[in-house]
Structure 1
Amino acid sequence: MATADVIFTGGAIFTGSGEPISGYAVAVTGDRITALISASEIDLYRGAETRIVDLDGALLSPGFQDAHIHPTSGGVELLQCDLSASEDAADAVGRISAYAAANPEVEWISGGGWSMDHYPGGNPLASLIDAVVPDRPVTVMSRDHHSLWANTAAIRAAGIDASTPDPEDGVIVRDADGNPTGTFHEGAGELFAAHRPAPDADLVYQGLLRAQDEMLKLGITGWQDAMIGTGAGMADALDAYLRALDEGALKVHVVGAQWWERSGGIEQVDAMVARREKVAARGAEKLTLGTTKIMVDGVAENQTAAMLDPYRDGHGHVTDNAGLSFIDPEALKQYVTALDAAGQQVHFHALGDRAVREALDALEAARAANGPTDGRHHLAHLQIVDLADVARFAELDATANLQSLWATHEDQLDELSLPFMKDGAVMRQYPFGDFVRAGVRLCSGSDWPVSSADPIAAIHIAVNRAVPGSDREPLGGEGQKLDLATVFASYTSGTARINHRDHDTGRIRPGYLANLAVISPNPFELAPGDIHTATVQSTWIDGEPVYVRPELVGAAAER
């Protein structure tokens, strides 16, 4: 019997599904889990050099895996003009002013993280930035990366004026005379792409490393990067990942979702397969490119999410706007069928109920043409799903990719989305409970930097459908709440399956990689309203600690 290098004992163990088990220990040898043993068997695996980790009542879980995240853009924004912590419009402007003063050498200021609910109609004005930075171009992305805020200097530098038409996939917010006022939704933000300097390669690399450090603190040991390519104001991350591989700096395992250019066509399929195979030829399991990301629609806050029913205006009257389908639905069927046949997983951004239906129709066409495959296709965001389409997920083996942190009443939803949706739409928001009852597979992601990457914060909301301390009714009603074990599984074994890494990650079982998170207090022993108080104490990858909570360094966490 092999002597273990590490043994975790003294706490409950979430194995990747079901309720946690108690009275067991986990033995690790090298980078693998050796055995799940009873406490009485520990001495059989203990050697002179064995490290005994006393959980002291904490929960041992597989490392979390994020199924939809933008690490490099999030990391770069932390290193640029970061507005993600802004509490209101004045705070955001103050942060822009402070960044400009601290970085006089930056000729074009970039960054992001502002919240639409801080501005009337979700549309900040160029004049707000002009008041503090009138002489340099400034462009900052919204926290959801579906809108861009620019000052007058940037608008002039890009040559945008009243005569500039709206692109097919975007909207320029204008005054009564047609002049741009400072906000550019969706594809309109790309009007600046040829004029603002792109982040240099070293900045993108440093952003990746910064993001990895942030994710390890949260117990995240793997992710699916939802955009490898350029678009939505983000830099292509592939070179940064390859550099991290070459330098031995990439600790997590990553699935890269190659960005589908909606202005392009089916010729992209062959290019993506070639790129996938080129990376695979390096023989590095930590990075694969077997996924394609397709944006089907926009977001509800700027009324570009594709809906079955038109949006209402500010007076409750029905308009002629039902959002945008970024790709013609018939073309989408063709593209998805070709990707599926080529062995590419499809990762859909589908937020409105019409977008969800169009994505499912495309998967249905692919199934009819190709038969069942192991594509493990998934739809992310899913703000509104028509009840008639819920059961189709399971029928088509489509996974629901949950961003649980959004499934609660908050200002952006309550002020910028719900008032403009059809009557009764509040009961169809993020219908997680419906998915479970219909037998739909789940995975979970954050969409960071759109929102916090903290899995425990998202898990809290999935269980409660309300933010901590809220006295509001749960969004969508009690029936859309998830039980804790289901959400934990979606963030571990569920995402491992989506990432085609369920053969060696996402569970605590012999032969699997020792990618683990220690969480205290044990969330399964907390009242539902207290789940958010749990925190990651340490994160382990390949049997080695890659993060230890600072106050625990040097503490008696081992014996």
Structure 2
Amino acid sequence: MPLPLAAQSALVAAAVAIATATVLLLVPWTPTPRDRFADMVLANATIYTADPARPFADAMAVRDGRVLRVGTYESVKELNGRHTHELSLSGNVVLPGFIDSHVHFIDGGFQLARVPLRGIRNKDDFIGRVEEAVRDKHPGQWILGGGWNNDFWGGDLPAAAWLDDMSPDNPVWLSRMDGHMGVANSLAMKIAGIDKNTDDPIGGTIMRTTGGEPTGLLVDTAMKLIFDVIEKVSNHERREALLRASKHALMRGVTTVVDVGSYFPGTSTEKTWQDFADIYEWAHSMEKMIMRVCLFFPMPTWSRVSDLIDEHGRSLSQWIHLGGVKAFLDGSLGSSSALFHEPYEGDPGNYGLQVTDLDSLLNRTLESDKSGLQVAIHAIGDKANDLLLDMIDKVVDLNGVKDRRFRIEHAQHLAPGAANRFGKHGIIASVQPDHLLDDANSAGNKIGVERAERSSYTFRSLLDGGAQLAFGSDWPVYYYCLSGFRHQPSTSYPNRNVP
């Protein structure tokens, strides 16, 4: 009995994409005579080859996760053996595996097993979802989750008061979808020692009532106050998060990710290194890696990354590549902490947050760049991007011209003329189209319609200015993956006339 069309598509996404991506990333491989027969032959397909001379083929043979041959069915059928599984795709499209240029991979794996608040549209459903989680926990256990977006229910921010009645015996921490804000209940704040006398940390905000009492909302570096007291997760749970994330990505045709980690200014840099040693190196040694990762480490630890590359090279194996270092300049639009030249609408004193000292950032960037490391720095607001572009000019002046492939993560809102500066130094704009989809109805409220349409998500202008565009999902900030390809084209976006 033939497989249903949906099952065929899932099989292609999960199996064939892996094989195709392998060919794209590895040196050519020629099978020996004993290996000449395929494990699988895809027939009657529309296979995108990425070869301009022959962009499409109708058959493909695969063995041991590698593509043996792509072409006509006549050219492939000789690789059919007794144990070859032939799958007719009835004309369905086969694509190479996708490479996601910006994810927080381990965090995404954890989020899949925690309180899911993505897509919640009102306060009652928010509370109900947390109540369900509390029923499954013993007193004292943490309730962790995230993905909420207050724009979906009119903009009101959640508070500890929403959570306290249902969770008197369980500390709660629920992150906003952008990862730059979260809400804690009163018990969690008590454990963390947060009260009206707690000062805002540099680069962060404890949101308060008019009387000065914390509301439960923590922004950017203030989140560290909670992170420091959340119960530790076992190595087993952390490793399961990697396996869960990998399967989740492969089911969507993503075969390679750039994992920029979970470091944020004010948090420990050691977590990323522990993830590397306890999760990635373990998975590699136990042959548990099923997709390729390119890892970025916190910039304050640039010398350790340089030493690691000197010792092992940039690729530890076909599965694990050492990418470079990452830093931050500002927060996010959704949490009103992206750094702008002009204030947020309705909040005249708020221009956003600069979360890193510029002199410190410049010095570390210079050292990282001298060591040959690729540098990636988060900048969302127009002022943050201008400051970063100015800093890159200084780095090039001091360290000289070379193929450094500097990455600006997000490059979300740009001042007039900024897009034209990317090409000067071959800067990569690591952008996330799904941010555009989410901000379509909120950017105008945050920074004004005119500013949003003029300066937001200027992909076409970046291309015209010579930038290299790298698309990513920012998972788990946004649901994985490729939802932008499915979004309704009638939606009105900021800068909607710019393709």
- Residue 259 of structure 1: aligned partner: 298
Does structure 2 retain, via aligned residues, the 8 Å contact 1:353–1:386? Answer: yes
Amino acid at match of 1:143: M
Does structure 2 retain, via aligned residues, the 8 Å contact 1:276–1:288? Answer: no
CA distance in 2, matches of 1:7, 1:364: 52
Compared with structure 1, are the counterparts of its residues 395 and 176 closer, same or farther at alpha carbon in structure 2 (3 Å cutoff)?
same
- Residue 516 of structure 1: aligned partner: none
Does structure 2 retain, via aligned residues, the 8 Å contact 1:122–1:301? Answer: no
Report which stretch shifted further, 322-331 or 29-38: 29-38
Normalising by structure 2, we get a TM-score of 0.84
1:107 to 125, 136, 141: 141
- Residue 178 of structure 2: aligned partner: 144
- Residue 485 of structure 2: aligned partner: 459
Shift of 1:122: 5.0
CA distance in 1, matches of 2:52, 2:139: 55
The 5 A counterparts of 1:151-162 are: 151-162=185-196
Matched, 1:414 2:448: no
CA distance in 2, matches of 1:278, 1:85: 45
Structure 2 residue runs without a partner (length 5+):
1-29
CA distance in 2, matches of 1:110, 1:289: 30
- Residue 127 of structure 2: aligned partner: 93
- List per-residue Cα deviations over 1:518-554 (Å, max 9, x = no partner): xxxxxxxxxxxxxxxxxxxxxxxxxxxxxxxxxxxxx
- Residue 426 of structure 2: aligned partner: 397
The 5 A counterparts of 1:375-390 are: 375-390=404-419
- List per-residue Cα deviations over 1:325-374 (Å, max 9, x = no partner): 22233433332222122121112211111222222223322322333434
- Residue 227 of structure 1: aligned partner: 261
- Residue 319 of structure 2: aligned partner: 286
- List per-residue Cα deviations over 1:92-151 (Å, max 9, x = no partner): 211111111111255222222222325665521101101211222111211211111011
Matched, 1:297 2:330: yes
Higher relative contact order (CA 8 A, sep 6+): 1
The 5 A counterparts of 1:353-368 are: 353-368=382-397
Matched, 1:201 2:244: no
- Residue 289 of structure 2: aligned partner: 250
- List per-residue Cα deviations over 1:143-170 (Å, max 9, x = no partner): 2111110111111121111111111111
Does structure 1 retain, via aligned residues, the 8 Å contact 2:107–2:262? Answer: no
Normalising by structure 1, we get a TM-score of 0.75
- List per-residue Cα deviations over 1:280-337 (Å, max 9, x = no partner): 59942311233211111101223211112232326xxxx2432222223343333222
CA distance in 2, matches of 1:357, 1:378: 14
Does structure 1 retain, via aligned residues, the 8 Å contact 2:49–2:56? Answer: no
Does structure 2 retain, via aligned residues, the 8 Å contact 1:208–1:240? Answer: yes
Matched, 1:64 2:98: yes
- Residue 272 of structure 1: aligned partner: 305
- List per-residue Cα deviations over 1:48-68 (Å, max 9, x = no partner): 555444332122211011111
Matched, 1:127 2:161: yes
- Residue 365 of structure 2: aligned partner: 336
Does structure 2 retain, via aligned residues, the 8 Å contact 1:336–1:362? Answer: no
- Residue 218 of structure 1: aligned partner: 252
Shift of 1:382: 2.3
CA distance in 1, matches of 2:385, 2:214: 32
Percent sequence identity is 25
Does structure 1 retain, via aligned residues, the 8 Å contact 2:221–2:355? Answer: no
Amino acid at match of 1:292: V
CA distance in 2, matches of 1:201, 1:154: 23
Shift of 1:69: 0.8
The 5 A counterparts of 1:432-451 are: 432-451=459-478
CA distance in 1, matches of 2:52, 2:494: 25
- Residue 339 of structure 2: aligned partner: 306
CA distance in 2, matches of 1:396, 1:341: 16
1:176 to 210, 228, 251: 210
Report which stretch shifted further, 128-137 or 330-339: 330-339
Compared with structure 1, are the counterparts of its residues 13 and 69 closer, same or farther at alpha carbon in structure 2 (3 Å cutoff)?
same
- SS for the counterpart of 2:182 is strand
- Residue 430 of structure 1: aligned partner: 457
CA distance in 1, matches of 2:491, 2:119: 24
- List per-residue Cα deviations over 1:28-76 (Å, max 9, x = no partner): 4555434443444234555555544433212221101111111211211
Amino acid at match of 1:245: H
Aligned length: 459
